Chain A
Amino acid sequence: EPEVTQTPSHQVTQMGQEVILRCVPISNHLYFYWYRQILGQKVEFLVSFYNNEISEKSEIFDDQFSVERPDGSNFTLKIRSTKLEDSAMYFCASSEALPGGVLNTEAFFGQGTRLTVV
């Protein structure tokens, strides 16, 4: 069964450092997403990406965040100058079409990358 894969599973970084979280979406999917979950809190939408550009972003997704699809398979989330409050589980997801849209498709999630900023 195709799945979304994320690497690494756990990343520890020092405050102020840059991190890149990597995701390989399901191959025929067109929409890509990043979500995060701070420990004990809800899963929050960060950004969606379609056709090589950001289609929507939340207020959490400020200038320290960026996303990229550097080749045909990877989808990355870069956090510049990490802060303690960036510590969270980051989930990548992909879908064939918009979840809940005309084609009624779902988003498939990866296992997440636990980011710890120290």
Chain B
Amino acid sequence: AQSVSQHNHHVILSEAASLELGCNYSYGGTVNLFWYVQYPGQHLQLLLKYFSGDPLVKGIKGFEAEFIKSKFSFNLRKPSVQWSDTAEYFCAVTVYGGSQGNLIFGKGTKLSVKP
């Protein structure tokens, strides 16, 4: 069965530090990849997505992610975090052409940014 692993449960950074959150998935076929963010008390919002093309994807709020097919990875990065980036981040995949579009989520990584 397909699965998504997020390596870090809780990351604590100071403002202006660089961020990289790991995400690996297990599936040998074509996948579509997503990062969602959930700010405290709010709904899940899409940060960025990868379907095809350039493996370096830019999203909202200065986030980007790189799809490395050989490593089954889709790590999320931001060069300089802000206090307002404090949230929980979820990596998710869908199996292209397979299931009816259901998203398979990782466990999430909680990011705390200290001012």
Contact = CB atoms under 8 A, between A and B. Distances in A.
A90 interface: no
B46 interface: yes
Determine the interface band of chain A, counting residues with CB < 8 A from chain B: 20 to 34
Given A42-B107, A43-B90, A106-B34, A91 B44 contact: yes
A41 interface: yes
A52 B28 CA distance: 32
Contacts of B49: 104, 106
- Of B49, B103, B108, the most chain A CB neighbours within 10 A belong to B103
B101 A98 contact: yes
B34 A42 contact: no
Contact of A100 (B90, B96, B105): B96
B91 to A, nearest CB: 10
A99 interface: yes
Contact of B44 (A56, A95, A101, A109): A109
Interface in A20-61: 31, 33, 35, 41-45, 48, 50, 55-56, 58
Contacts, number: 73
A49 to B, nearest CB: 9
A31 B99 CA distance: 13
Given A42-B4, A56-B100, A100-B95, 13 more contacts: A31-B101, A33-B102, A33-B103, A35-B103, A43-B92, A43-B108, A55-B100, A93-B44, A101-B101, A106-B34, A109-B43, A109-B45, A111-B43
Interface of A: 3-4, 31, 33, 35, 41-45, 48, 50, 55-56, 58, 91, 93, 95, 98-101, 104, 106-112
13 contacts: A31-B101, A35-B105, A43-B44, A44-B105, A58-B102, A91-B44, A99-B34, A100-B32, A100-B101, A104-B51, A107-B101, A109-B44, A110-B43
